Amino acid sequence: MPFQFEDLKRVLVKSKEDLEFAKEDMKNGETPARKKALKKANQKYEIQMKALDDFITGKLADLKNEHVKEIEMIITEAQLTGVQLVVVACVNCIQPTSPKHMTREEENPIAKL
Protein backbone atom coordinates (compact mmCIF):
# COMPACT_ATOMS: atom_id res chain seq x y z
CA MET A 1 0.00 0.00 0.00
CA PRO A 2 2.81 2.53 0.64
CA PHE A 3 3.92 2.04 -2.96
CA GLN A 4 0.45 2.85 -4.25
CA PHE A 5 0.40 6.09 -2.24
CA GLU A 6 3.89 7.02 -3.46
CA ASP A 7 2.86 6.30 -7.07
CA LEU A 8 -0.24 8.46 -6.75
CA LYS A 9 1.78 11.25 -5.17
CA ARG A 10 4.46 11.05 -7.89
CA VAL A 11 1.86 11.18 -10.69
CA LEU A 12 0.14 14.13 -9.01
CA VAL A 13 3.42 16.06 -8.77
CA LYS A 14 4.11 15.32 -12.45
CA SER A 15 0.66 16.49 -13.51
CA LYS A 16 1.09 19.66 -11.45
CA GLU A 17 4.40 20.34 -13.20
CA ASP A 18 2.68 19.83 -16.56
CA LEU A 19 -0.06 22.26 -15.52
CA GLU A 20 2.49 24.87 -14.43
CA PHE A 21 4.31 24.47 -17.75
CA ALA A 22 1.05 24.92 -19.68
CA LYS A 23 0.25 28.07 -17.69
CA GLU A 24 3.71 29.48 -18.39
CA ASP A 25 3.35 28.62 -22.07
CA MET A 26 0.06 30.55 -22.20
CA LYS A 27 1.94 33.67 -21.11
CA ASN A 28 3.79 33.56 -24.46
CA GLY A 29 0.52 34.06 -26.28
CA GLU A 30 -2.90 32.48 -26.45
CA THR A 31 -3.42 30.00 -29.25
CA PRO A 32 -6.04 27.29 -29.66
CA ALA A 33 -3.36 24.62 -29.18
CA ARG A 34 -2.10 26.22 -25.96
CA LYS A 35 -5.66 26.60 -24.64
CA LYS A 36 -6.29 22.92 -25.36
CA ALA A 37 -3.01 21.91 -23.69
CA LEU A 38 -3.85 23.99 -20.61
CA LYS A 39 -7.34 22.53 -20.40
CA LYS A 40 -6.00 18.98 -20.76
CA ALA A 41 -3.28 19.56 -18.14
CA ASN A 42 -5.85 21.04 -15.74
CA GLN A 43 -8.20 18.07 -16.21
CA LYS A 44 -5.36 15.60 -15.67
CA TYR A 45 -4.32 17.41 -12.48
CA GLU A 46 -7.89 17.40 -11.14
CA ILE A 47 -8.25 13.67 -11.89
CA GLN A 48 -4.99 12.87 -10.10
CA MET A 49 -5.96 15.06 -7.14
CA LYS A 50 -9.27 13.22 -6.84
CA ALA A 51 -7.55 9.82 -7.10
CA LEU A 52 -5.17 10.72 -4.27
CA ASP A 53 -8.02 12.13 -2.18
CA ASP A 54 -10.09 8.97 -2.71
CA PHE A 55 -7.12 6.85 -1.68
CA ILE A 56 -6.52 8.86 1.49
CA THR A 57 -10.16 9.02 2.56
CA GLY A 58 -10.93 5.44 1.58
CA LYS A 59 -8.11 2.97 1.90
CA LEU A 60 -6.11 4.73 4.59
CA ALA A 61 -9.22 5.23 6.73
CA ASP A 62 -9.97 1.51 6.39
CA LEU A 63 -6.39 0.67 7.31
CA LYS A 64 -6.55 2.93 10.35
CA ASN A 65 -9.81 1.30 11.48
CA GLU A 66 -8.20 -2.12 11.07
CA HIS A 67 -5.26 -1.07 13.28
CA VAL A 68 -7.63 0.37 15.90
CA LYS A 69 -9.59 -2.91 16.00
CA GLU A 70 -6.37 -4.91 16.40
CA ILE A 71 -5.23 -2.65 19.25
CA GLU A 72 -8.64 -2.91 20.95
CA MET A 73 -8.48 -6.72 20.76
CA ILE A 74 -4.98 -6.72 22.29
CA ILE A 75 -6.12 -4.41 25.11
CA THR A 76 -9.19 -6.57 25.78
CA GLU A 77 -7.06 -9.71 25.87
CA ALA A 78 -4.60 -8.03 28.24
CA GLN A 79 -7.42 -6.95 30.54
CA LEU A 80 -8.78 -10.50 30.65
CA THR A 81 -5.39 -12.01 31.43
CA GLY A 82 -4.27 -9.22 33.77
CA VAL A 83 -1.09 -8.68 31.77
CA GLN A 84 0.56 -5.27 31.80
CA LEU A 85 0.68 -4.03 28.26
CA VAL A 86 2.60 -1.49 26.22
CA VAL A 87 0.61 -0.32 23.20
CA VAL A 88 2.54 0.19 19.98
CA ALA A 89 0.86 2.85 17.84
CA CYS A 90 1.34 2.72 14.10
CA VAL A 91 2.63 6.11 13.01
CA ASN A 92 1.76 5.22 9.41
CA CYS A 93 -1.92 5.64 10.28
CA ILE A 94 -1.15 9.21 11.26
CA GLN A 95 1.49 10.08 8.65
CA PRO A 96 0.72 8.23 5.40
CA THR A 97 3.78 9.67 3.65
CA SER A 98 6.08 7.39 5.62
CA PRO A 99 7.53 4.68 3.36
CA LYS A 100 7.79 2.12 6.15
CA HIS A 101 5.78 1.23 9.21
CA MET A 102 7.37 3.11 12.06
CA THR A 103 6.27 2.52 15.62
CA ARG A 104 6.13 4.60 18.73
CA GLU A 105 5.61 3.06 22.15
CA GLU A 106 3.15 4.65 24.52
CA GLU A 107 2.22 3.55 28.00
CA ASN A 108 -1.18 1.95 28.12
CA PRO A 109 -3.49 3.94 30.45
CA ILE A 110 -5.69 0.86 30.93
CA ALA A 111 -2.78 -1.11 32.39
CA LYS A 112 -2.67 1.38 35.28
CA LEU A 113 -6.19 0.41 36.37
Q: Answer positive or negative: Cα dihedral of 9, 54, 73, 110.
A: positive
How far apart (Å, rounded) are the C-alpha atoms in residues 62 and 74? 19
pLDDT in tens, 15-73: 999 999 999 999 999 999 999 999 999 999 999 999 988 888 887 777 777 777 787 77
Tens of pLDDT, residue by residue over 67-101, are: 777 877 777 777 777 655 555 555 555 554 444 44
pLDDT score, position 17: 93
Domain-wise residue ranges, the chain: 2-112
Comparing CA positions, the residue from 19, 71, 16 lying closest to residue 40 is 19
d(CA 96, CA 100): 9
Spatial contact of 16 and 45, defined as CB atoms under 8 Å apart? yes
- Cα 35 to Cα 15: distance, rounded to the nearest angstrom: 16
pLDDT of 110 above 60: no
Query: What pTM value is reported for the model?
Result: 0.54
